[in-house]
Amino acid sequence: MNRTEKRDFIASLAAVFAETSMVVVTRNDGLTVADVTDLRRKVRAAGATYKVAKNRLATLALDGTQFDGIKPLLKGPTALAWAEDPVAVAKVVVEFAKTNDKLVLLGGSLGSQVLSADGVKALAELPSLDTLRAQLVGLISTPATRIAGVTQAPAAQLARVFGAYAKTGEAEAA
């Protein structure tokens, strides 16, 4: 990379850090090309990005961002994964690290909060943003369903009472 390419790379990475909410730092020592391709495919499917960046360039891109606290993690062969949905990127990286010993989770940052590897693993155990939204909609719609059921219940009970009187009236007439 020449200086212009490095400047462009730093600027693009800094723009990404300004827009994202979660960054995960991994050590990818010894991963094969097939493993990295598989990881990138899984990360992309989750709506995230996985990038191997030179530590010095990544450190320069982190200056002045909310993810400044992950600079100490950038030593050795590292890679960064980021996404808007913090749970999605954490889940994918943690699941891949469980199946592949060569990918080591170093930590990450959720906004300005620096997370250890255990913190990222704990975050990965949470339900995804879409699941949380579905649960919230379910909680909101449940009371409305119950109210509709309660308001319809007296009418149904009256109909049953009238039906019972009608049957007894028919039985007496017969």
Give the CATH number of the domain where residue 10 resides: 3.30.70.1730
Whether 138 and 111 map to the same domain: the answer is no
Whether 108 and 132 map to the same domain: the answer is no
d(CA 140, CA 41): 35
Domain span holding position 132: 128-174
Question: Cα 53 to the chain's mean position, in Å?
Answer: 23
Phi, psi of 160 (to 5 degrees): -65, -40
Whether 148 and 75 map to the same domain: the answer is no
Whether 109 and 149 map to the same domain: the answer is no
Residue 173 confidence (pLDDT): 65
Whether 52 and 119 map to the same domain: the answer is yes
Residue 149 confidence (pLDDT): 62
Domain count, the chain: 2
All residues at 6 or more sequence positions from 152 whose CB lies less than 8 Å from its CB, including other chains: none
> How far is CA 32 from each of CA 3, 55, 84, rounded to the nearest angstrom?
29, 20, 27
DSSP β-bridge partners for residue 81: 24, 50
Q: Residue 104 burial (CB < 10 Å; 0-12/13-18/19+)? A: middle
Whether 83 and 34 map to the same domain: the answer is yes
In the chain, at which residue ranges do the beta strands (DSSP E only) sit? 22-27, 49-52, 78-83, 104-110, 113-116
In the chain, which residues have pLDDT < 70?
142-159, 161-162, 171-174
Residue 123 confidence (pLDDT): 85
Whether 50 and 94 map to the same domain: the answer is yes
> How far is CA 165 from each of CA 156, 157, 169, 172, 173, rounded to the nearest angstrom?
14, 12, 6, 10, 12
Residue 137 confidence (pLDDT): 79
Residue 145 confidence (pLDDT): 64
Radius of gyration of the chain measured on its C-alpha atoms: 28
Sequence length of the chain is 174
d(CA 27, CA 111): 21
Residue 46 confidence (pLDDT): 87
Q: Contact at 8 Å (CB) between 110 and 22?
A: yes
Residue 134 confidence (pLDDT): 82
Residue 168 confidence (pLDDT): 76
Whether 159 and 121 map to the same domain: the answer is no
